[in-house]
Structure 1
Amino acid sequence: MLKKKVAFYTMGCKLNYAETSTIARKFSNLYYQHVSFKSYADIYVINSCSVTKNAEMELKHIVRSAMNKNSEAIIVAIGCYAQLNPKEVSSIIGVDIVLGNEEKFKIIDYLNRDKENKYYANFLSKRTYYSSFSIGDRTRSFLKIQDGCDYKCSYCIIPMLRGESRSESIENILKNIRFLFNQGVKEIVLTGVNIGDYGKNIYGENRRLYTFFDLIQAIDQIQEKGRIRLSSIEPNLLKNECIEFLSKSKHFVPHFHIPLQSGSNDILGKMHRRYIRELYQEKVKKIRCLMPDAYIGSDIIVGYPGETHKHFLETYHFLKKLEISSLHIFTYSARPNTKSSAMQENVSKKIQWKRNKILRILSNKKYRFFCKKQIFTKKTVLFEKNNHNKKYLYGYTENYIRIKMPLNLYNSYTTYENTLQDVLITKVDKDGIMIAEPIN
């Protein structure tokens, strides 16, 4: 029997990558041949994102790209944008099936149906949970521990698309971590929509049985060797007891991504965030006290409705003093049915772009300053697959510094791929990548 060729494309967050990989494994090698999205395929599956309007526009471009490779292919759009607006997605020329965030895990069933309907997207309840992890396509693995969100940030559409906060059981998380490490994975990233809220609605339970602190303590007792990295965690949910525990952990690496969104308490209030900037500052100081070399990344939204020049300056000067390592800057994008979309005090695109540029410059300065402090320190690097440049090996240190090491007679690509190696950081190049040399 001739196997059908199937290709996958993931937009957006680490959680989407974990779920795409899980969905891809449903396409049995007995009946399907997995190919690159850049290749000819019979079926193209696109896991969509809806955090910003740009992500929705990008979906149309990706669909066209698939059609250019095979105009007769079946194109399936799945994920958050499919959940948000299935009718609109189904109207994109080339899209054959649209599956929301619950239906996407039953993709094989929908492919085998008669195409009476084109789109399917039901409301996600707290009883719906699908275990997911990525494996095989990247050096590190993304492991989903939680889904959904009970927070009501005024700009965020994700709770509408992902449903209420719900969690994987500790037992299953530990089983999956052991499985991944035993498969040769060297690093696992714990991901979810709001991982610090872990413990809610484990298999439909309404009472809180566990906390995020319970989870990380259980994970750290695993005997298998490997690194564990946290994805984004809310500052109000990153408890001091967690920071203290992580600073002494044998598995967890010193890397934090803590969204701030604004350095103005007025704007944080309008955003319905659950903290003030002083709490954020305390968390950063706590981490720096216990883990001086920890990488601390942050998210910032510029141009939020009502953000005046004074508000922006508050954010800029607050960030300038803050001992963080880098910033991920988003330009505010109104999402349908959110409270902020009804606000009238819109900031012009020109001012939004200018503020974004100013913070990107600040972020670059902070990252280079952080990197220079690491020169002549010993780190452990997880080296990646080298698909492009044969002159260097690339990877990340435990504290998330991008490293490149020259290939020479003493360190071949095949020896170092997907291995943890001790290196000495020697300098930073013009692109902000640290250069290292092997210690052994």
Structure 2
Amino acid sequence: MSTEIATKSVAFYTLGCKLNFSETSTIARNFEQEGFERVDFEKRADIYVINTCSVTENADKRFKSIVKKAQQVNEDAFTIAVGCYAQLKPEELAAVDGVDLVLGATEKFKITDYLNQLSKEEPTQIHSCEIDEADFYVGSYSIGDRTRAFLKVQDGCDYKCTYCTIPLARGISRSDTLENVMENARLISEQGIKEIVLTGVNIGDYGKGEFGNKRHEHTFLDLVHALDTVNGIERLRISSIEPNLLKNETIEFVSGANAFVPHFHIPLQAGNNELLGKMKRRYNRELYVDRVTKIKEVMPDCCIGVDVIVGFPGETDDHFLDTYNFLSDLNISYLHVFTYSERDNTEAATMEGVVPKKVRAKRSKMLRGLSVKKRRAFYESQLGKTKTVLWEAENREGFIQGFTENYVKVKTYWNPELVNELQTVTLKSIDEDGLVRIA
């Protein structure tokens, strides 16, 4: 029996990155324009949409449990899978019990076109494309979920890192026009949201046009200059940028900007040049040190986050210790540690020197421990200083939380009047949970 459109409800679950969150919000707005009511994923809905990720093996596994959770709430619901995993392995997702429709990279933004066809029929429908066809750009941003918004400015990637499936899942590097980005930023500002986080697959590559046009109409530097002028946006944050694309001009501009905050997240992946070469990264560790040194030179209080992969094929104990010591000595603030997992159709999956999973887990634990120490040291360096906190909306056991401009996580006693407010505070002490209390 077909699903009727009128007064139907839809729920969303997002796996993976900030980019996925921005795209889920855009897809949700498409549903709302068709008259659907959006409900929480834990509640009964007529349609469940799961935006998938395929960066790690764990994200793949979680998909099945999320589908099961939806089925337990409403076994008659129509379940749709979109996103990177849906593009890479549509048949695998379609085989999961309870999945009714799988949409690939070009179809996910046309999801409402399929509404009149929705029915609980066998077999599961798959609509996916050859990834070469994913050569157009769809702008996205998330609002209504939190006090900050994720604004997508770029999609796809032209890099050929040997461990990564993102180019296979999202296609070539392409960007939104500067005019569209500015319009979306203004729309976000009109919602009363005070912070925008710029997101994309490789945002430092911003400027490459649609349909594979590699001519840069605007550069990433042009983008940050323009966004810094948007009225009502108090903070702009760069989510993640490749070290080879983070130029001195951008660092210097951020240091004196109106809205851009002193916080960078810069992928490293390995602190050993031999491994960086095997990964086909476009820099060496000396360049990475240069970027960190430049940032700290002009913004001493800047927070710097680092992505790192452990257990890459051929990573010996010496390679790992090289990375560990490199990061230990580096003036950074925290780590995002990824345990390498084999991805089909990547060069690394066929490399020799497979690291045993127990060894990967041990190395991951060591780096996570280092991250705790780094974050603690960074927080301690900020005590006694006056910063500005943007308070978030959730009451967490009687406390409200928020982040300073330089990404120190702060807490104070719950006060609903503080939600989505910027407050100047003095950082007083570090609580047992690792968060900073204010004076």
Taking structure 1 as the reference length, the TM-score comes to 0.95
Paired position in structure 2 for 1:418: 420
Matched to 2:89, the amino acid is N
Q: 1:121 aligns with which of 103, 128, 140?
A: 128
Paired position in structure 2 for 1:434: 436
2:402 corresponds to 1:398:
no
Question: What aligned pairs does 1:261-410 form with structure 2 within 5 A after superposition?
Answer: 261-389=269-397, 391-407=398-414
Paired position in structure 1 for 2:69: 65
- Deviation at 1:113? 2.2
Rounded to whole Å, the distance in 1 between the matches of 2:43 and 2:135 is: 38
**8 Å CA contact retained: 2:235, 2:260:** yes
What whole-Å deviation, never above 9, does each CA across 1:177-200 have from its counterpart, x for those lacking one?
Answer: 122112201000000000000001
**8 Å CA contact retained: 1:169, 1:202:** no
- Deviation at 1:379? 0.8
Rounded to whole Å, the distance in 2 between the matches of 1:78 and 1:126 is: 14
- Deviation at 1:224? 3.4
Paired position in structure 2 for 1:140: 148
Paired position in structure 1 for 2:30: 26
Rounded to whole Å, the distance in 2 between the matches of 1:417 and 1:223 is: 20
**8 Å CA contact retained: 2:80, 2:99:** yes
What whole-Å deviation, never above 9, does each CA across 1:164-215 have from its counterpart, x for those lacking one?
Answer: 0000001111111122112201000000000000001247634222211111
Paired position in structure 2 for 1:47: 51
Paired position in structure 2 for 1:173: 181
Paired position in structure 2 for 1:220: 228
Rounded to whole Å, the distance in 2 between the matches of 1:152 and 1:117 is: 33
Q: Which runs of 5+ in 1 are unaligned?
A: none
Paired position in structure 2 for 1:200: 208
Matched to 1:424, the amino acid is T
2:92 corresponds to 1:88:
yes
CA RMSD, Structure 1 to Structure 2 (Å) = 1.5
Rounded to whole Å, the distance in 1 between the matches of 2:231 and 2:75 is: 50
What whole-Å deviation, never above 9, does each CA across 1:238-269 have from its counterpart, x for those lacking one?
Answer: 01111111111111000100000000000000
What whole-Å deviation, never above 9, does each CA across 1:367-414 have from its counterpart, x for those lacking one?
Answer: 00000011111111110112442x21111110111110124xxxx31x
Matched to 2:362, the amino acid is K
Matched to 1:221, the amino acid is T
Matched to 1:426, the amino acid is K
**8 Å CA contact retained: 1:259, 1:298:** yes
- Deviation at 1:139? 1.1
Taking structure 2 as the reference length, the TM-score comes to 0.95
Distance 1:385 1:224, change over 3 A: closer
Rounded to whole Å, the distance in 2 between the matches of 1:424 and 1:283 is: 29
Distance 1:434 1:34, change over 3 A: same
Q: Classify the secondary structure of the residue corresponding to 1:71.
A: coil
Rounded to whole Å, the distance in 1 between the matches of 2:350 and 2:9 is: 45
Matched to 1:261, the amino acid is Q
Paired position in structure 1 for 2:9: 5
- Deviation at 1:225? 3.8
Q: 1:259 aligns with which of 252, 259, 267?
A: 267
Matched to 1:119, the amino acid is I
Rounded to whole Å, the distance in 2 between the matches of 1:219 and 1:432 is: 33
Q: Which runs of 5+ in 2 are unaligned?
A: none
**8 Å CA contact retained: 1:123, 1:163:** no
Q: Classify the secondary structure of the residue corresponding to 1:299.
A: strand
Rounded to whole Å, the distance in 1 between the matches of 2:336 and 2:213 is: 35
Rounded to whole Å, the distance in 1 between the matches of 2:402 and 2:345 is: 41
Rounded to whole Å, the distance in 1 between the matches of 2:98 and 2:344 is: 25
Rounded to whole Å, the distance in 2 between the matches of 1:140 and 1:169 is: 22
State which drifts further: 269-278 or 30-39: 30-39
Distance 1:401 1:133, change over 3 A: same
Matched to 2:324, the amino acid is Y
Rounded to whole Å, the distance in 1 between the matches of 2:69 and 2:277 is: 42
What whole-Å deviation, never above 9, does each CA across 1:312-366 have from its counterpart, x for those lacking one?
Answer: 1110110010000000101100100000000121000111111111111111001
**8 Å CA contact retained: 2:173, 2:212:** no
Matched to 2:216, the amino acid is R
Paired position in structure 2 for 1:211: 219
**Percent of paired sites with the same residue:** 54
**8 Å CA contact retained: 2:204, 2:241:** yes
Matched to 2:403, the amino acid is Y
Rounded to whole Å, the distance in 2 between the matches of 1:49 and 1:16 is: 8
Q: 1:14 aligns with which of 18, 24, 31?
A: 18
- Deviation at 1:435? 0.7
Matched to 1:32, the amino acid is F
**8 Å CA contact retained: 1:5, 1:33:** yes
What whole-Å deviation, never above 9, does each CA across 1:29-71 have from its counterpart, x for those lacking one?
Answer: 6632211001111110000000011111100000000000011
Rounded to whole Å, the distance in 2 between the matches of 1:201 and 1:28 is: 29
Paired position in structure 1 for 2:194: 186
Matched to 2:328, the amino acid is K
**8 Å CA contact retained: 1:231, 1:256:** yes
Rounded to whole Å, the distance in 2 between the matches of 1:279 and 1:65 is: 46
Q: Classify the secondary structure of the residue corresponding to 2:269.
A: coil
Paired position in structure 1 for 2:102: 98
Q: Classify the secondary structure of the residue corresponding to 1:380.
A: strand
Rounded to whole Å, the distance in 1 between the matches of 2:135 and 2:33 is: 31
